[in-house]
Amino acid sequence: MQLPPNTFKSSLLKHHHQTGLFMGMNSPVSAEILATCGFDFLLIDAEHGLYDLPTLQAQLQAVAAYPVHGLVRPVSHDPALIRQLLGIGVQSLLVPMVNTAAQAHALVDAMHYPPRGSRGVGTGLERGARWNAADNYFDQVAERLCLVVQIESLEGLSNLDAICAVPGVDGVFIGPNDLAAAMGYLGQVRHPTVIDTIHSTLKRIRASGKAAGIFCAQPEHAGDWHNSGASFLALGADTALLRNAALQLRQRVAP
């Protein structure tokens, strides 16, 4: 058998517009419901959301039946965690707080087998290799893997060009909340200085040839980010959607 194609990565490399959602509920049922909604990608957030490895794997299994790509955001850059995530079948990682080119190189190293990297070999135990059912797994795997790094610190901004130049980095994603905080505007993602910085950063990412993305919780801003070169947008998080939908429903009857 073949490994599933990484549709997110192929669209990323062509700079096609893609939209997705963050998921923080650690629920395969919730993930499957969202998989029916037509997004291009669903990102399971193991940085700020609840997570455990078996439920991460179950969420990947739940969305695999639908035309949507499941990514994971790990809580750290730890190569042991990256190995486990790839082992359960994660093909695409969105890694927070990548501040230097050396950190980006280390992530590429953790994701790939020797000689390119230092990922440990345990295919018979791993869903990622379909427990050795995948034909010629070692020939297929590298091109299926996708690395998106997050720029969301002052150090990351100052090293942006070097980070974008790292081979194996496929996309660069701006985290507006952390970036605003790092710039001295905690909680003010719409501060004009933050907005200007984000626009110029998106343009620099796009000019580097790498795909640019951003967390965009307010859909009315999507066009502006696209105009500055962003191709993949995360349009909020399941937790906020659930709360807002419940609030709106209740307020229609009991304002």
Site residues for Mg ion per CB under 5 A: 152, 175, 178
Helices marked H in 14-78 — which ranges? Answer: 28-35, 53-63
- Nearest residue to ligand 3PY, using CB? 175
The rounded distance, in Å, linking the Cα atoms of 148 and 212 is 9
Nearest-approach distance from CB 130 to Mg ion, in angstroms = 32
175 sits near ligand 3PY (criterion: CB under 6 A): yes
Cβ 67 to ligand 3PY, closest distance in Å? Answer: 24
The β-bridge partners of 214 are: 174, 233
Both structure tokens of 166: 């790292």
215 binds, among ligand 3PY, Mg ion, none (CB under 5 to 8 A by kind): ligand 3PY
3-state secondary structure of 169: coil
Nearer to Mg ion, 87 or 175 (CB): 175
**Interface with ligand 3PY includes 170 (CB under 6 A)?**
no
Closest to 211 in 3D by CA, of 9, 2, 4: 9
Looking at beta carbons only, is 40 or 152 nearer to ligand 3PY?
152
**Which of 15, 16, 17, 48 is the catalytic position?**
48
- β partners of residue 148: 94, 171
| Piece in contact with ligand 3PY (CB under 6 A), picked from 26-34, 63-71, 104-112, 176-184 | 176-184
The correct pick among 32, 152, 170, 238 for binding ligand 3PY (CB under 6 A) is 152
Contact predicate 105/76, CB 8 Å: no
Name residues whose C-beta falls within 8 Å of residue 174's C-beta, 6 or more positions apart in sequence.
Answer: 150, 151, 152, 198, 201, 202, 212, 213, 214, 215
8 interacts with ligand 3PY by CB under 6 A: no
Q: Is 221 a catalytic residue?
A: no
195 to 224, contacts with ligand 3PY by CB under 6 A?
A: 215
Q: Distance of alpha carbon 53 from its chain centroid, rounded?
A: 17
Tokens of 203: 């343009």
Q: Tokens for 88?
A: 């359960």
Residue 242: CB minimum distance to ligand 3PY, A:
17
> Scanning residues 61 to 90, which ones bind ligand 3PY (CB under 6 A)?
none
Active site members: 48
- Residues forming contacts to ligand 3PY in the complex (CB under 6 A) are 96, 150, 152, 175-178, 215
